[in-house]
Structure 1
Amino acid sequence: MPPANVRIRSAELSDLDDLVALEEHSFDSDRLSRAQFRRHLDSDSAKVLVASTGPHRFLGTAVVFFRKRSGVARLYSIATHHEARGLGVGSALLDAAEQLAQRRRCRALRLEVRTDNHGAVRLYERLGYRRIGHARDYYEDGADAWRYEKLLAMQGA
């Protein structure tokens, strides 16, 4: 469970500096650029979520992609500030991403994760994601990825 004062919301253009700073802090490679974040903030096919405790106290972010006429959403990126790890921020972001996908009538949420990111793998599996595949040399540094999927309850079903 995240800290009581954590709020998940849609990112805004005014968050751009903080989004880029957290991305650079969180990843050594395969980072989203400032231009990519800017494009995603203006896109109908992407949603950028922010977990924060104040206007500029970012604890995490998640980027979710949607394709027209597809019942599958994709969690493209999720990042949690190192000080917030283990506090439920990642779980809260995943829950918000799942709810968003359900509202868009998606039946599943898929993602990729580095095979050596054991903490993230445990989190996804604990939250009901199942491994559906493997991708060799998926990341810029040549690391492999596991592919995961979670089936979502259809709203109104």
Structure 2
Amino acid sequence: MVIVFDLDDTLYPEMEFVRSAYRTIARQYGRGLLPAMLAAADPREAFDSTGLPVSDVIGLYRNHNPDIRLPWMSLYVLSCLARTGHTLGLVTDGRSVTQRHKIEALGLARFISPDLIMISEEVGEEKVSGRAFRSIMNRTEGRGAYVYVGDNPAKD
């Protein structure tokens, strides 16, 4: 069986990435910025709260090496599935550098072959196009049923 996962808010809570980015911004520009960013309703509001040029903070946000970990339940599920012979894959929307940093920080290479990791920017289309899914299906032909696990019915 081939089991493909979404990344953000499926394998780990995306808010952990956001908080990691805020901490990186605060280390770069002053720790006093962190409380306002953490209290913000969304990243745009957090960036505005810094008083810095948005281009400066968004660059750090997108390109930092995040301090994130797989929750124990995700780690357990991935370990069990891999150990029992299932083929695992990943399909995620986003910028390549940002998603690659997340994948590395979470240690997903332990479970997922690089050729079964599809990032929308690298594929050239958003997940909803189906191109990434078809690519994984073609690469895993003959390995049984195909299942996708995600959190957002509109995108997954």
TM-score by length of 2: 0.32
Higher strand share: 1
Higher helix share: 2
Greater RCO structure (CA 8 Å; 6+ sep): 2
TM-score by length of 1: 0.32
